[in-house]
Amino acid sequence: MSLEITFLGTGSAFPSPARGASALVLRREGQCWLFDCGEGTQTQLMRSHLRAARITKIFITHLHGDHIFGLPGLLCTLSLQTDPDASKAPVDIYGPLGLRSFLWRSLELSHSQLLFPYTVHELVPTRDQCPPEEFKDFSGWDRDEALPQGPPGRVLHLDPGEDSYLLVEDEQLVVRAFRLFHRVPSFGFVLEEKPRPGKLNVQKLKDLG
């Protein structure tokens, strides 16, 4: 399994002509996984050797603007480059509770219609992830509203035994989120490669004693 990381933006809060807001891409076997999507991410993608159309998963660490303001625009640009395909696998988006509402409202208010499916998997934070006065409970948002076009997705709760959230698991790796302390609830992501059985040349070991 080969992994390649490309930093698209390493700025903090204030983008500049030479340094974009937070975003990086992990390329894995032809797929691109995007971590955070600050303002200008799609422009940085165009300057890179990466193909935005290969993005299959997006991970958002927290809901500060310099980590999410580029997301609605990026999705719209991807849609302009996409042919409608009902069989296309959805783009999976992972992030804190409230991300689904932010995306749905941004796209709805701007009359944006995506030509590809996407799902939003929300991580439910705990109150000790930020100062008490900064914690906002988004669990009741949109509860009484009909969201006929709202994206589907899971609501993920902390696994007390693992002290983390299981996001992705396949034959090669496991992706988990863990809690970080910040001014708002934040998450870090860990990609753990599964053990791979090695090959043992028994005869050569015997020959070497």
- So which residues are the catalytic ones? 66
Distance CA 1, CA 53 (A): 21
Rounded distance, CA 64 to CA 22, Å?
A: 11
User: Which of 92, 94, 142 lies closest to 116 in space, CA to CA?
Assistant: 92
Kindly give the residue spans of alpha helices, DSSP state H, lying in 91-170: 99-109
The CA radius of gyration of the chain, in Å to the nearest whole number, is: 20
Using the structure block, give the residue that is written with the tokens 């002509």: 17
The residue among 70, 76, 24 whose CA lies nearest residue 50 is: 24
Do the Cβ atoms of 31 and 52 come closer than 8 Å?
no
Single-letter amino acid code for the residue at 44: Q
* Structure-token pair, residue 132: 């008490």
The pairing of strands 186-193 and 91-96 is unpaired
Q: Which two tokens stand for residue 23?
A: 């975003």
